[in-house]
A = this chain, B = another copy of it.
Amino acid sequence: MLRTHTCGQLRISDVNKEVTLTGWVQRTRDKGSLLWIDLRDRYGITQLFLEEGKTDASLLKIARETGREYVLKVNGLVVERLSKNDKMPTGDVEVKVSSLEILNASKVPPFTIEDNTDGGDDLRMKYRYLDLRRNTVRENLQLRHKMAQQTRIYLDSLNFIEVETPVLIKSTPEGARDFVVPSRMNPGEFYALPQSPQTFKQLLMVSGFDRYYQIVKCFRDEDLRADRQPEFTQIDCEMAFITQEDILSTFEGLVRHLFKTVKGIDMPSVPHMSYDDAMKFYGSDKPDTRFDMKFVELNSVAQGKGFQVFDSAELVVGICAKGCAEYTRKQLDELTEFVKKPQIGAKGLVYVQCKADGTFKSSVDKFYTADDLTKWAELMNAQAGDLMLVLSGEKEKTQKGLSELRLRMGEVLGLRDKNKFSALWVIDFPLLEWNEEINRWHAMHHPFTSPKPDDMHLLDSDPGKVRANAYDMVINGTEVGGGSIRIHDRTTQQLMFSKLGFSDEEAKKQFGFLMDAFEFGAPPHGGIAFGFDRLCSLFGGSDSIRDFIAFPKNNSGRDMMIDTPSTISAEQLKELSIDVKIKH
Contacts and interface: CB of A to CB of B under 8 A. Distances in A.
A507 interface: no
Interface stretch (A51-59, A75-83, A205-213, A453-461): A205-213
Contact of A513 (B138, B144, B562, B578): B562
A247 to B, nearest CB: 10
Interface in A186-225: 186-193, 199-200, 203-204, 206-210, 217, 219, 221, 223-224
Nearest to A148: B162
A568 B189 CA distance: 7
Contact of A186 (B40, B190, B558, B577): B558
A99 interface: no
A180 B182 contact: yes
A274 interface: no
A576 interface: yes
A332 interface: no
Contacts of A41: 208, 210
Interface size class of A (residues with CB under 8 A): 35 or more
B138 A209 contact: yes
A393 interface: no
Contacts of A569: 173
A489 B567 contact: no
Contacts of A71: 521-523
B520 A130 contact: yes
Interface stretch (A104-112, A323-331, A384-392): A104-112
Given A2-B241, A180-B568, A521 B162 contact: no
A320 to B, nearest CB: 43
A216 to B, nearest CB: 9
Given A170-B563, A582-B188, A210 B520 contact: no
A22 B568 contact: no
Nearest to A187: B582
A148 B1 CA distance: 26
A120 B144 CA distance: 44
A187 to B, nearest CB: 5
A163 interface: yes
Contact of A141 (B163, B173, B217, B581): B163
Contacts of A189: 564-567
A167 interface: yes
B149 A517 contact: no
A583 B577 contact: yes
30 contacts: A1-B243, A2-B241, A41-B208, A42-B208, A69-B521, A71-B522, A104-B524, A127-B520, A130-B207, A132-B208, A138-B207, A144-B164, A149-B162, A163-B550, A166-B551, A167-B167, A167-B231, A168-B230, A168-B564, A170-B565, A173-B568, A179-B181, A180-B572, A185-B223, A188-B567, A189-B564, A190-B566, A577-B581, A577-B582, A577-B583
Nearest to A131: B207
Contact of A578 (B127, B177, B581): B581
A71 B519 CA distance: 11
A305 interface: no
Interface string A153-168: 0001000011111111
Contacts of A518: 104
B179 A562 contact: no
A559 interface: yes
A3 interface: yes
A233 interface: yes
A549 interface: yes
